Structure 1
Amino acid sequence: MAPSYRDAPWLARLSPAQRVTGTPPPTVLHAFRATVRRAPDRCALAYFDGRLTYRQTDELSGALAGRLAASGFRRGDRAAVMLQNTPHFVLAVLAVWKAGGTVVPMNPMFKAGEVRHILDDSGATALICGDRAWADFLREAAAGSAVRTALTACPFGLQTRDDARVLRGERMPPPDGAEDLLTVARSGARPPADPGLGPQDPALISYTSGTTGAPKGAVNTHGNIAHNAERARIGSGLPDGSTYFALAPLFHITGMVAELGSCLVNAGTLALAHRFEAGVVLDAFLEHRPAYTIGPATAFMALMAQPGAGRDHFASFHLVSSGGAPLPPALVERFRTAFGHYLHNGYGLTETTATTASVPPGTEAPVDPASGTLAVGVPGPGTLVRIVDERGAEVPFGGHGEIVVSGPQVVPGYWRRPGATDAALPGGELRTGDIGFMDPDGWLYVVDRKKDMINAAGFKVWPREVEDILYAHPAVREAAVVGVPDDYRGESVRAYVSLRPGTAPQAAELIAHCRERLAAYKAPREVRILADLPKTTSGKILRRELRDDAAGRARQGKTGGGA
């Protein structure tokens, strides 16, 4: 019989310890409470020079939960949380779960219309947010929604040393129409009775970016989160009580699970630094000496570009991972040269509650010799990854097709979207929309999103392949490739790049670099050089904005190959 994906060849890439399925706790909250009982004085949260023990974190979040319950918040209710990487975020998440509710994480960069859509769609009855955002626009955005309880947090208050690089702005006066989160947390309010949450209960409603239509909420259950958090604990081999650094935003599924969830399951310390600023992050590495972090490729590019960055900043790390955005092979080597660590790739989606595949510690991902694509890793035990064609039939190992995933981390569906659930999760197996392939050894490669494929005169061009070639140029810091409407070819290839400090290549040089290494139809006909590429707060380059820019320029009849 021909080899099958169900043979799980990837398990041979794992060590015996990594192949252990493990027994995750019913919820991450169970793991947190277990640590409160056995190590109450262990540091749970570190924020600049502020520290909270597990006992203090339990007491503060318990008082918040009590206040929510007193306001009428009940099991199954939803609470929107819109905060940066601060202790307030963690306290809010734990409080909502202790009250039996579901957390609706929101990006602090959202505008009023985006917030209102999520509040209305989720039916959130509580909103926990920054005090300035509440005063500026959230109070108005929430008016007329189901929200009846609002708690606001100031980024100050849990540390004494303010860092003006990230903690900008004056302290706000007491919020109008909301309560101060820390005042409530320190009130000593009695926590509600244990709601008895289990693996099947919804823990998060995580709204996708909505590349087509309005964003929809993926329902991540407590079982989804606990499974991937436990898998990360086992797979990483980190000692009990290790320090994790929150490089990825906690409101993003990667940060929520691979940082917060994994840290709590491992009874660790979570070090926080508000929002990403390269110099602040490097200082925090020296202060907190973390053993683990995960972030997008763009964050590691920024760290490498920071003056004074060196190996000592990463000396404490046991494992450094990248996820949430494509990882070019050239960046992996630059990072190793600069900091002495191999950057471990990973792959996952909101609908797979973060990790689907990762590069195990102690191994290095292969690079596909045909395309130059770096493998994203291998699945773990209990996860099935298959590659299928447009009819849903499996393609042989090495064949390109859509990546489909089933396992304990796959969400049961979308919030109040039965049609979208049926389309994306037929039979409970997720159709990811990503194109990739798997080699016979079980290494998974992601080629690109189906929607990002460029059709140049009938030839398929995957942006990732061109971007990887651009990243191999020593002057390129960031790269993104999109299709440009072309009357003759249908589409032609355009690249947008930002440059490393101290370099100044012309667009023609970058085009020639690609033409030497790619078929003529794949090489960009235009390169536009920008100071920075547009990105989400989770570090993903916004190809959609660049695609819109390209389409707009084409409509205006602008052509040329310059920067």
Structure 2
Amino acid sequence: MSVYDERPWLELYGDQPADMEPEHSDALTMFRAGLEADPDGDAIRYFDGVITRRELDTASDALASGLLARGFAEGDRLAVYLQNVPQFVTCMLAAWKAGGVMVSINPMSRTRELSYLLKDSGATVLVCLETLYDEVARDVVPETDVKLVLTTSELEHQTRNDERLFAGLERQRHEGTTDLAGLIDEHRGQVPPAVTLAPDDVAFLTYTSGTTGVPKGAMNTHRNVVFTAAIYRDCARFAPGGSVFGIAPLFHITGLIGHIAVSFAAPMPLVLAYRFEPGVVLDALLEHRPTYTIGAITAFNALFNAPDFTLDHFASFTSIYSGGAAISPTAEKAFRQATGHQVHNAYGLTETTSPMTLTPFGAPSPVDPTSGALSVGVPVPSTIVRIQDDQGVDLPLGEVGEIVADGPQVVAGYWGKPEETAANLPGGALRSGDVGFMNPDGWVFIVDRKKDMINASGYKVWPREVEDVLAEHPAVRESAVVGVPDEKRGETVKAFVSLKAGTSVTTEELIAHCKERMAAYKYPRQVVIIDELPKTVTGKILRRELRD
């Protein structure tokens, strides 16, 4: 519901209650409910491999028993340093069954990042791919509290071994590590002692990107997890008998909730394909025919630009959401033309355990006539979204300020960082760092990240507005706008642009395109055309790298 008026929300969400009480107290209970409902149904599909819910339950029981036998204790942290493989889900469940907390780690993390995350979380167990242990973890582990390293392979649970992903890859054992599958087999048939998980117990730590300082471990509780999983399941209107495609990385909050947790809550099979490679993903879509997914618009764009893409690749979908990166009206239109489906916006952060706003299923997202921004949806059930000034005072409808969220999805705080918790989560509400506004109908619009605002000759320029105008040019595939120092203006607007295949345009033409459509202080004075814009593993464009 909107803090201003809940009637528009009720009209949009229809039969969904304005306040939702999760039916499960914790995420493990949520998984077990799906297990009881359909024990022999598919839990995970990975290339040509299938794992049923019963098999997943048995394997995670065995792993939890093995962890406890090796000294893992209630409240301990188990770090997962994996790609999108079935073992990720097994380890998550095993950590909970052993009374512990999972720590999700970006598989792109290198020595410095991995060292910080392991030390900050105090993880005592690390599960990683054999390749990542060889390349990164072996030099890091001795400096941390990790007492047990479990290694595994992306080749497990499937026999196809796609050459586009696994060419030349072989199993490799490393001294000082324990084989994950071997530990499971050693304890197969064992059931760990019953554990009681409270709603406010931490389910996993997910680390922020660290764009404004060192990464912070958000404490996503079981209450957060079961609430947001139910939000996606109920508000995205899943089709019976469907499946979810894991296009986002599982370590990220979108993958953790929008893929894994929602597959427990539905319950429905989770389709995985190791990591995002457009050709592999397109093949998996045809093979498994999923019905729902959520991913970054940049990932979808990569699929549309793949040489083998056809309308048939998306024919099975009934519900598609996008989050993690802003969508322009031009991109939304291109999505519909490419797939025949509407892409529904979702907006959330690590600290909101994924969604704080959603575009209700089947409802078109409005475009703000002044800024040209596409709405990111309306507040989800039981959630209050406010627009506030720098002093924390609510602003009138339509005025631009910081987006603040309060609801069951907001995390308990940052792991071991009480000062950062007090600053960013005052009174339990999250100050998002995103700047936006709300219209009279309860729709939320994001203007930009607060820290990305450009001050050109005393005028505020929001990069996203310039990017949306650049997106209207037929040759532009992606763009990113940053502020750079300028002797006369203090800062000036600089754009980095990648082009669609087979097109060409000059920087002068792009500047003229923006100049015709924007106020004089907004249009970019500099444009650089590059092959690819730098992105996070989730597809979010890294303005900071371009700025640096």
Quickly name the TM-score band, shorter chain normalised.
over 0.9
TM-aligned CA deviation for residue 40 of structure 1: 1.1
Is residue 6 of structure 2 the alignment partner of residue 8 of structure 1?
yes
Distance between the aligned counterparts of 1:46 and 1:4, measured in 2? 39
Unaligned stretches of 5+ residues in structure 2: none
Preserved CA contact (<8 Å) 2:4 2:442: no
Distance between the aligned counterparts of 1:4 and 1:276, measured in 2? 36
Is residue 34 of structure 2 the alignment partner of residue 35 of structure 1?
yes
Amino acid at match of 1:24: E
Distance between the aligned counterparts of 1:4 and 1:26, measured in 2? 26
Residues 16 and 517 of structure 1: CA distance in aligned 2, closer, same or farther (over 3 Å): same
| 2:422 aligned residue | 422
Amino acid at match of 1:147: V
| 1:186 aligned residue | 185
TM-aligned CA deviation for residue 204 of structure 1: 1.1
TM-aligned CA deviation for residue 332 of structure 1: 0.8
1:411-450 equivalences in 2 (<5 Å): 411-450=411-450
Is residue 151 of structure 2 the alignment partner of residue 152 of structure 1?
yes
| 2:160 aligned residue | 161
TM-aligned CA deviation for residue 243 of structure 1: 0.3
| 1:453 aligned residue | 453
TM-aligned CA deviation for residue 512 of structure 1: 1.0
| 1:556 aligned residue | none
| 2:67 aligned residue | 68
Is residue 265 of structure 2 the alignment partner of residue 259 of structure 1?
no
| 2:474 aligned residue | 474
1:104-503 equivalences in 2 (<5 Å): 104-187=103-186, 188=188, 190-503=190-503
Residues 13 and 250 of structure 1: CA distance in aligned 2, closer, same or farther (over 3 Å): farther
TM-aligned CA deviation for residue 398 of structure 1: 0.5
Q: Count residues with an aligned counterpart.
A: 546
| 1:559 aligned residue | none
Distance between the aligned counterparts of 2:115 and 2:8, measured in 1? 43
Preserved CA contact (<8 Å) 1:481 1:495: yes
Distance between the aligned counterparts of 1:329 and 1:319, measured in 2? 19
* Corresponding residue SS for 1:280: helix
Preserved CA contact (<8 Å) 1:483 1:493: yes
Distance between the aligned counterparts of 1:272 and 1:47, measured in 2? 5
Preserved CA contact (<8 Å) 1:240 1:267: no
Moved more, 182-191 or 313-322: 182-191
TM-aligned CA deviation for residue 36 of structure 1: 1.9
Distance between the aligned counterparts of 1:137 and 1:317, measured in 2? 38
**1:182-201, Cα deviation, whole Å (9 max, x unpaired):** 22223315231121112110
| 2:53 aligned residue | 54
Amino acid at match of 1:164: E
Amino acid at match of 1:105: S
Residues 306 and 320 of structure 1: CA distance in aligned 2, closer, same or farther (over 3 Å): same
Preserved CA contact (<8 Å) 2:118 2:144: yes
**1:170-221, Cα deviation, whole Å (9 max, x unpaired):** 2132232111112222331523112111211001111111112211111000
Amino acid at match of 1:479: S
Amino acid at match of 1:442: G
**1:535-559, Cα deviation, whole Å (9 max, x unpaired):** 11011111110010xxxxxxxxxxx
| 1:553 aligned residue | none
Preserved CA contact (<8 Å) 2:388 2:403: yes
Unaligned stretches of 5+ residues in structure 1: 549-563
**1:360-386, Cα deviation, whole Å (9 max, x unpaired):** 111110000101000000111210000
* Corresponding residue SS for 1:466: helix
Amino acid at match of 2:327: L
* Corresponding residue SS for 2:166: coil
Distance between the aligned counterparts of 1:507 and 1:56, measured in 2? 57
Amino acid at match of 2:14: P
Preserved CA contact (<8 Å) 1:375 1:445: yes
Distance between the aligned counterparts of 1:533 and 1:427, measured in 2? 38
Residues 264 and 56 of structure 1: CA distance in aligned 2, closer, same or farther (over 3 Å): same
Preserved CA contact (<8 Å) 1:387 1:401: yes
RMSD: 1.4
**1:483-515, Cα deviation, whole Å (9 max, x unpaired):** 011111010000011111101111111111111
TM-aligned CA deviation for residue 457 of structure 1: 0.3
TM-aligned CA deviation for residue 39 of structure 1: 1.1
Could you list the structure 1 runs, at least 4 aligned residues long, displaced by more than 4 angstroms after superposition: none
Alignment TM-score, normalising by the size of structure 1: 0.95
Preserved CA contact (<8 Å) 2:457 2:490: yes
Which of residues 15, 25, 37 in structure 2 aligns to 1:17?
15
Residues 67 and 391 of structure 1: CA distance in aligned 2, closer, same or farther (over 3 Å): same
Preserved CA contact (<8 Å) 1:39 1:54: yes
Distance between the aligned counterparts of 2:303 and 2:85, measured in 1? 21
Residues 15 and 213 of structure 1: CA distance in aligned 2, closer, same or farther (over 3 Å): closer
Amino acid at match of 1:372: G
**1:73-97, Cα deviation, whole Å (9 max, x unpaired):** 1111111101011101111111111
**1:462-494, Cα deviation, whole Å (9 max, x unpaired):** 000000111111111111000011111010000
Distance between the aligned counterparts of 2:317 and 2:365, measured in 1? 19
* Corresponding residue SS for 2:163: coil
* Corresponding residue SS for 2:399: coil
**1:390-429, Cα deviation, whole Å (9 max, x unpaired):** 1211111101011100000001111011100110111111
TM-aligned CA deviation for residue 22 of structure 1: 4.6
Preserved CA contact (<8 Å) 2:83 2:107: yes
* Corresponding residue SS for 2:51: strand
| 1:87 aligned residue | 86
Q: Quick one: percent identity of the two aligned structures?
A: 51
Distance between the aligned counterparts of 1:225 and 1:14, measured in 2? 24
* Corresponding residue SS for 2:80: strand
Distance between the aligned counterparts of 1:9 and 1:415, measured in 2? 37
Residues 66 and 189 of structure 1: CA distance in aligned 2, closer, same or farther (over 3 Å): farther
Preserved CA contact (<8 Å) 2:12 2:363: no
Amino acid at match of 2:39: P
Distance between the aligned counterparts of 2:262 and 2:316, measured in 1? 18
Distance between the aligned counterparts of 1:357 and 1:424, measured in 2? 19
Moved more, 208-217 or 430-439: 208-217
Preserved CA contact (<8 Å) 1:17 1:234: no
**1:2-36, Cα deviation, whole Å (9 max, x unpaired):** x9825334423433323362533112211211222
TM-aligned CA deviation for residue 259 of structure 1: 1.1
Residues 49 and 4 of structure 1: CA distance in aligned 2, closer, same or farther (over 3 Å): closer
Distance between the aligned counterparts of 1:474 and 1:498, measured in 2? 12
Distance between the aligned counterparts of 1:300 and 1:13, measured in 2? 30
Amino acid at match of 1:125: T
Distance between the aligned counterparts of 2:335 and 2:318, measured in 1? 15
**1:432-486, Cα deviation, whole Å (9 max, x unpaired):** 1110000000000010011000000000000000001111111111110000111
Preserved CA contact (<8 Å) 1:135 1:176: no
Distance between the aligned counterparts of 1:25 and 1:167, measured in 2? 39
